[in-house]
Amino acid sequence: MLTVKSWRIVECVKRCAVTHLRRRFSISFNMAKSKFEYVRNFETDDTCLRNCYIVVRLDGRNFHKFAEQHNFTKPNDNRALGLMSRSARSVLEEMEDIVIAYGQSDEFSFVFKRSSTWFKRRASKLMTHVTSQFSSSYVFYWKEFFGEKPLLYPPSFDGRVVLYPSNRNIKDYLSWRQADCHINNLYNTVFWTLVQRGGLTTAQAEDRLKGTLAADKNEILFSEFDINYNKESDLYKKGTTLIWEKRDETVTKRLMLPNKEEKDVSVTRSRRRVETYHCDIIGEQFWEEHQDILEDDDC
């Protein structure tokens, strides 16, 4: 049996041995870290230029096939459009430096304010964060819009980053995307009407629309199917715009009075929340009504 003195000697030897091993391991680890750390030099600098709006645009990858396999309604599926909008909303709520987002069909554009410093303005970080948040939200909220209809496989979205230095540039970019929404929706509306109500095959409908202008397409809808395109939903014609807005909110609080009686008191407070619009953003009216979206050009 060890005496107390012998036990203390053994413990002391153990501690010394452990300390020595830790020291050797730490030195070895630091040397290894220093030896291999040079690989960081292969990383490229992708910092976005200052004083520019950063746009991250997402597009569904092979979404034509995805829509077919999940039986989306043609030409527009309210469930799918609602899910896209809900996924985009989750991105804005996660990244408050996004001042406006615009979406149509299977794409969404997110505009970061010009003075944003999120992720040190690294393009790769911004793009991957937006893409992953949007994609995961699309899967997470699927049942909210499609009920028990199964998600057969996860959707895929690709992203790109583009910089725009002025307010005019960013307005023109968003106008371009909304004009694209109108062009695509008019074509798809006529195309699927010819197929679903006109009895044409997809190839025949495509041939029928070759070389037609917007006026021709409107005439086909009105004269042959009694459809006034102007009365179609703004959701389809103008897409979805998401912005931050402050709204007054009234809540009731129960207060304790000096005489120890309780009283319900209405309290109004202002909250910032994401609001949805299906409106024209090409004209100046939208921007005049929401002047806090964009920063001054003289920054």
Residue numbers in the known binding site for GTP are 59-64, 105-106
Indicate the helix (H) or strand (E) that contains 49: none
Q: Which residue has the tokens 């209405």?
A: 266
Q: Which residues are annotated as a binding site?
A: 59-64, 105-106
CA 269 centroid distance within chain:
28
Q: Which residues are annotated as a binding site for Mg(2+)?
A: 59-60, 106
Q: Which residue has the tokens 């937006």?
A: 130
- Cβ 58 vs Cβ 107: under 8 Å: yes
CA-to-CA separations, 66 to 60, 71, 105, 187, in angstroms, rounded: 9, 9, 13, 20
- Cβ 84 vs Cβ 60: under 8 Å: no
Q: Which residue has the tokens 């949805």?
A: 276
Residues 6+ apart with CB under 8 A from 247: 270, 271, 273, 275
| Ramachandran class of 67: left when φ > 0, alpha when ψ lies in -120 to 50, beta otherwise | alpha
Q: Which residue has the tokens 């968003």?
A: 174
- Cβ 193 vs Cβ 76: under 8 Å: no
Token readout for 54 is 């950063």
253 beta partners? 265
- Cβ 126 vs Cβ 161: under 8 Å: yes
| β 53-60/107-112 pair status | antiparallel
CA-to-CA separations, 266 to 3, 236, 247, 249, 250, in angstroms, rounded: 76, 40, 16, 10, 6
